[in-house]
Every structure is written in C-alpha cells, then in structure tokens.
Structure 1
C-alpha cells in the first residue's frame, strides 16, 4: 500500500493502480513463460482501468447543489449555518468524496461523502457552521467532487457548482440613550405627533375616499384643488437624521491602503481598509441602529454629497440615500458589509513608487468637492428636519471650515473624528465647534459608546455664541 501511495492520485484509485501493476507483471510473465492465457489476463488487467478512466471523463456525472445560509446576511462574530443539498441529476453511479471550498479565514474546508447514509429521494443533505470576525462578502464554494467509476478504478475531480456569496455585516454596538438628537420631544428620540384641526394653517388634507364622513370635508382645500379634500384626523411627522460617512483614502490610510476582509465578488481585490475606517464603519452602523430603533428615517451621504454607498459592492441599491424601518436598516447593514476606502482614483490621491502618498492636485491642498456645494445643497434640502451626524477620518482645518457651515442645516450637528493621533485634530475640532458642531476626536482604540457619550461633555460643546451669530446672519448656502 505504501508503494501505491507514490502513484498520482488524480488518475486511478489504489485498486486501479493495483490492476495496472498486476497487468504489467502478468505481461512480463507471459513473455517469459510463453503463456497465452497470461497474455490475455494481462491485457484485461491493463485495459480495464484505462477504459474506466476514459469513461469517467467522457460521461461525467452531473450534480445539482443547493446552498442556504441561516441567517443571511450574518453579523460579524455570529455563526451562520450552511445547509447543502446535493443530488445527482444525470445517469451514473459510484461514490464521490466532496469538499466545500472556503476562504482561508474560515479554516479548513469541510469534506463529506456522496451519497450520504441518510440520503432521501436521491438527495444528500449536509450541514456545517461558519463565523467571521471580519465584515465582507465571501465566496462560499464551489463544491468539488472527486468521484470514481462504478468499479472504483479511476478518479476524476471537478467543481460541480459556482458557489454562493455570504455577506457578513458589521455588528452594531448598543449606544447609551442621550438627548443628542434634539428638537424631537423632550429627548429628541420620539416622533412628533400632531392632532389635526388646530387651525386652517397647519391642517393636513388628502383626497376624498368613498366612506369618508362629509363633516371632514375641508372646503377651502376643495376649492383650491377642484376636488373633494378631507381633513386628516392625525398626522405623524417622522424624525429624520442625516449621517455623513467619510470614505476618503487620505482620511483613513496611514500610507498605502491595506488589504482587509473578504474579497468582493465583483473583482479579485481585497477591500481597502484600515483600523480607523473599520471603527468608523462600526460607529456608523451603531448610530443608524440607535436612531432606527427610535423611528428615525435615515439619510446616508458621503463627504461629496453623493449617496454613501454608491461605491459599495454589497449595496442592494447603491444610488439610494434614504432608508427607513427595519428593511432600511438591513439595507444599510448590507451596504456597509463590503464598503471600502475610496481609492486614490476616487479621492484625487495618487500612489507613486514606493507607496509614497501625494495629496490631491488642487489649489491649497483641499479638494473643493469635499464638503462642498453638493453636500450643502443636500443638507439644505432637509433643513432643520433632524440632527446631522458626521463620522470622519483625519480632517484638515480647511476641510473643517468647509463642513462647519453645514451645522446650520440641522436641528443639531455632531462630528466624530477617528484618527491615530487625536491631538493633531484640535484645530479642526475648534473650527467645527465654532461653526456650531459638537465635535470630538478619538483613536480607533476608543469604545464607540464612550465616543457617543462624550457629546454630552463640555469639551464637545459648540461655541454657541458664534453659532448663534452665524445663524442669525443667515450664513449658509
């Protein structure tokens, strides 16, 4: 058996190699002894494995594979159960040894035999568990099958499916309840509920529907619209929050962007990320979950005023900006799964030989599109409808000055700068605070709930006098 282990395993089984060896010995004996019966036996022993090898390659067994993840998507560090169902879809028999190919971070690939002992109706079912400590999108599979001919003489190995994508989303951490959202009830976290019929100025109306009592007809609105309009008994104003998620290469990379996490299915490159960017992603997910639990509608933007997930490979709707309810929060989580630092070609940065980083080629070292007119127009369109929360990387004083005026468009404005050297952000923080923002700078080692709570401290408070003067003067776009 030890001698047979030296032969290639991708052509014949031990039984096949044994027959070939026996055929060769019989052929040599027939030549020496002159026995025709030994010659016939040797031909049979040699031809049989070769015919089996040709047959298994010409008539390949066909399989159908069904793969499910429970749950899907799954949060980081949580387990998901992978359920496989494998059925033979074509003719043929024999057994197969199958292996599920996994990315390296999931450990050893599981192997199993087909058909399973518990197979029912020709379908074999298997189950195993996965968990990932890193967000991303991962290709699970394909299943490769190493099968033999009915006589167990030859081997053939091939992939029998294309695999499926497992999406691992960042897990939100629970944030303390604070009064940061502002302008909504006594703590900023409750929807505003207004009884209709206080006056004709703020009454809500809609078109008449069959069955509406005539006493609810609003005659002034009917005259304006030319059709019957009725008063709404009650209207609910959903609070809104705008989250600005920084994704700039220059704000998070300490040099060249580092590979991290899973491979996005649409290309062959690892996600460009860093420790500070991963902190920002978890912070954004946590803030969104915190506000969604309090019935906030969420608007996600990037520093240029574009949809925050425009370049995320995992985004269900990359062009979408507005999210609400449980489905909206789930869409945000999926979009954050494979979001990455915007590459040098997106952010205006260039990597030169040796990984040296050069700033954007714009006058004064500040990209005018960052925190520029497009973002301010987006903020202005939802003026004073709720808080603005910015999760930023390294921010220069020039960028802080551009962003500072955005505070005037929100009921409150909060900025978290995550950087390896928070002490270098004092000028940017002071600029933001003078503009009306509550702003803090934290390292990636800080706990997200601690950073969130720090907005209640005096050090994060805005320069209210300067903010009031600015708002009173009508500064803004």
Structure 2
C-alpha cells in the first residue's frame, strides 16, 4: 500500500482553557429547505425535465412528454438508490502510541480501502472533538494509492495533542458520496468513533521517605513479607478468566502447570488513597466561583472538573505511584468509599484488585483518566459519612496500612467529620487544596493536633514541594 505523506500531515493542539466551537458559516437557502440530496447537475436535469413537461403540455407533443418524464425521474431515482446504498469503503483507525498523555502528541493513522472498481475521487474528512477544531480533509484515493488483491488502499496520518485528560471520540470519517453520474450526493459516516484515552502525567517524587514512617528510607516494614516474585506468595491453579498479570512464573515452572498469585492481603502493606471528588469541595458556586473544566467522556456528555481538582488528582497519582514503588498495594477510593475503577469511565478491568506491581502506575493513570467531579443527586451527608466509615474499616485492617486523604477546602465541621470517621490513626497524611491556603491553617492545625501529617497547598504549588512539607513533619 502507498503512504501519503503530503495530505494531510497536520498538527492539532487543543486549547488549555475550556472548550470552544468553530463558527459555522450561515446556512444557504439550499441547506435550509433540505435540497442537498441532488447536485447542481441533478437539479439542472430535473429543471430541464420540468420545462420539457410544461412544453409537452402546452404543445400537446406526446414524445416530449416521455423525454420530460425521463429527465424528472432519473435524478430522483439516483437519489433514492444512493439513500439506501452503502459506500464500499472500509476505514481502519490506529493511534501511536495507543494512549496519549497530556504532555505529548499522538499520531492518528487512517487506512482506507475500497473493494471493486474505484470510481471518482471522494472528499473525506475525519471528525474531531470541538477542542481540536475542524477535522482534517483529504481525498480518496490518495496520490500514492496502490492496488492490491483486496482492492485499492490509501494511508493518511495526522497528529493530535490533547491538553486535558479524558476519553476523546475521534471519528467517524465522513464522505460526500455521489452516484456515478454525479446527479445526487449525500453525507455518509464510513466508520464508528474510536476512543482515544488521554492519560494524566505522573510526577515522580524524590525518595525522601514516607511521611509518618520511621526507618531506612521510609520503606514499608512488611514489604519483605510479600513481593510479586516471592515463593511465599499463596498460589492456586489457573482458572479461565484469570488475568495474565497474576500468573506466578516461578511457581508455574516448579509445578509444571499454570499457577496464579493469590495474595494474602492481610500480609501486604496497603495504602488507601481517598480522593475527594465532591463538587462542594472543588467547584465553588456563587460569589468567588471558579471556572469549570470539561473532561471528555467519549460519546457521552463531558463531565466537570476544576483546577484544584486537577491538582488533587495529580497528587493522588504521584503519591500512589511513589507508594507502589515502595512496596504498598494502592487502594484508590473516592469520598463515598467507592473504588475509582467503579466510578470512572476509563476504569481498568481489574476493578476489585489493588494497584500493585510493575504496572501499578499505568493502571492508576488509566483509571484516573476520565474521573470527574461527582454527578448530581448526591447522597445525604449522614449516609455518605457512614458509607465512607464502613469502607475505610473494611479496607484498613493492619497496623502497617496507611491512609492518604486528598481534600478540597473543608470547613471546620467537615474537618471534625473526617477526624470522627477516620478515628485515632497515627499514619494519616492529608493534602488540602485551596485557592488561598492561608484560609486552611486552622483546619491543618486540627489535623496536626490529632497526630496527622497535614499541609495546605494551592494549584500553583508543585507536588514535590507539598510532599517535602509533609515529610518534614514526620
């Protein structure tokens, strides 16, 4: 197959603030009355038939009547057949890399093939989200199209750089399909939209230790008791449906059959990271309200976020990746006690498992990619608090387990609720995100008096600075 390097080779970067739409040109009279099913040639032929029919009626010539009927029916028949026919084009869309990140670009490659005899050149365009503006336009077949056993095919390529995380709907490829005589035309979607997941960037933290943890480099004390390669891991025989990541290769080699890990989570150090995603905490309304950001959700309506929530999510990912590297299994939940995998549209398949092992960071990135602030219809305060308390009690069973709370701007009453829900635990880390962190100093003092490591930050604070401030308190 040929590769078209000239059309289109475009670079599209979405804006970093808000969503915007391309100003559409005013609709023409032909578009307003829905006359777009015939081309100019088709309407000319139809008008000639109408004039011939009028002449046949005035002159009384029967042979002219037959000509007029032919001229009237031919474009209408072409439009009818085109309406119920399908274009013989097949589109394959691939992304390189398969998942994008907000600090890099991704190449979108289209492979379009046609079976049978190729007709005239067909104008095509790929549909992009509003963030990227109007999609690239190109013609099929391309100048370097090659003929193969399965028909002709062309390659097209362009680049995208998403500015926000989420699941973008790329496509479908649209074509203006016409009949062989050029009498009728209609727009047609050649494929379905493809999901492009834009992952948040993970900031690497310096190995300064874990706040509240004493010992060499802050390593988990029970880390040596269970590692993915340890023979002390509880194993069982492979069952259909088990993920390949759980296969324990040393035990498989020893037993001669596939064995999978069955971790004893009571012996595994666990870190529960609670990311508050309530609207009241991160998206203030009324006076002093802050603008909301839109997180794409593929073909569904986008969901809301904010600058402070983006910082909180960035912190949850960075802290989670750091703790996973030190031997902890990460349990990532929201303020209702629900797992992030269960409430995010980009959640991974292993919803009930901890984020642990060499792929923990990549799995957390995917789970957090489409996470947004809570939807409308929230639970009552008492119900939500009791649900969270039960979830924390179930998840945190051992003395070596840790709890990281990433909050917005809690009120004194909410701070008391957190102290009551969490209880007397010495290994609790709190990050509060506010536009003006000085307003949170009384709240931070309450948390520190309870023996917690707590710090207030604003969206301009780097995660490294916040983590260093927490570590100096331990």
For normalisation by structure 1, the TM-score amounts to 0.72
Aligned equivalents of 1:74, 1:149: Cα separation in 2: 39
Change (3 A) 1:51 1:303: closer
Map 1:260-275 to 2 at 5 A: 260-265=293-298, 268-275=300-307
Deviates more, 1:138-147 or 1:20-29: 20-29
- Provide the rounded CA distance (Å) in 2 between the counterparts of 1:299 and 1:271: 24
How far 1:180 sits from its partner (Å)? 2.4
**CA contact under 8 A between 1:95 and 1:147: conserved in structure 2?**
no
RMSD: 3.7
2:398 aligned with 1:382: yes
The answer for the alignment partner of 2:357 in structure 1 is: 325
Distance of 2:387 and 2:297 partners within structure 1: 26
**2:20 paired residue number:** none
1:146 aligned partner:
176
- Distance in structure 2 (CA, Å) of the matches to 1:315 and 1:90: 42
State the partner residue of 2:370: 338
Contact 2:112 2:155 in 1 (8 A): yes
Residue correspondence of structure 1 range 65-464 to structure 2 within 5 A: 65-88=91-114, 93-120=119-146, 121=148, 122-180=152-210, 183=213, 186-189=216-219, 240-255=270-285, 260-265=293-298, 268-317=300-349, 319-320=351-352, 322-348=354-380, 360=381, 362=382, 368-369=385-386, 372-379=389-396, 381-385=397-401, 387-404=402-419, 406=422, 409=425, 412-457=427-472, 461=473
Specify the SS of the correspondent of 1:176: coil
Give 1:56 deviation, angstroms.
1.7
CA distance in 2, matches of 1:204, 1:128: 50
Structure 1 regions of 5+ residues with no counterpart? Answer: 197-202, 208-236, 349-359, 463-477
Partner secondary structure for residue 181 of structure 2: coil
Give distance in 2, aligned partners of 1:192 and 1:61: 62
Residues 282-317 of structure 1, C-alpha deviations (whole Å, 9 max, x = no match): 111222233344454322123343323431122124
Q: Secondary structure at the match of 2:274?
A: strand
> For 1:325, what is the secondary structure of its paired residue?
coil
- Cα distance between partner residues in 1 of 2:234 and 2:311: 45
Q: Is the 8 A contact 1:309 1:339 kept in 2?
A: no
Higher relative contact order (CA 8 A, sep 6+): 2
Q: Is the partner of 1:82 in helix, strand or coil?
A: strand
- The 1:308–1:382 alpha-carbon spacing in structure 2 relative to 1, beyond 3 Å, is farther
**Quick one: distance in 1 between partners of 2:320 and 2:377?**
29
- What residue ranges of structure 2 are gaps of 5+ in the alignment? 1-27, 236-266
Q: Secondary structure at the match of 2:386?
A: coil
Whether contact under 8 Å (1:438, 1:455) holds in the other structure is: yes
- TM-score, scaled to structure 2: 0.72
Q: Residue 340 of structure 2 contacts residue 367 of structure 2 at CA under 8 Å; is this kept in 1?
A: no
- Greater Cα offset, 54-63 or 243-252: 54-63
Structure 2 counterpart SS, 1:439 = strand
Q: Which moved more, 1:296-305 or 1:101-110?
A: 296-305
Report the count of equivalent residues.
401
Say which is worse superposed, 396-405 or 325-334, in terms of deviation: 396-405
Shift of 1:82: 1.4
Compare CA radii of gyration and give the structure with the larger one. Answer: 1
Q: Bigger CA drift: 268-277 or 334-343?
A: 268-277
Of 37-46 and 142-151, deviating more is 37-46
Query: Larger deviation: 130-139 or 288-297?
Result: 288-297
SS at 1:272 equivalent: strand
Separation in 2 of the partners of 1:247 and 1:151?
A: 58
Question: Are positions 1:49 and 2:75 aligned together?
Answer: yes
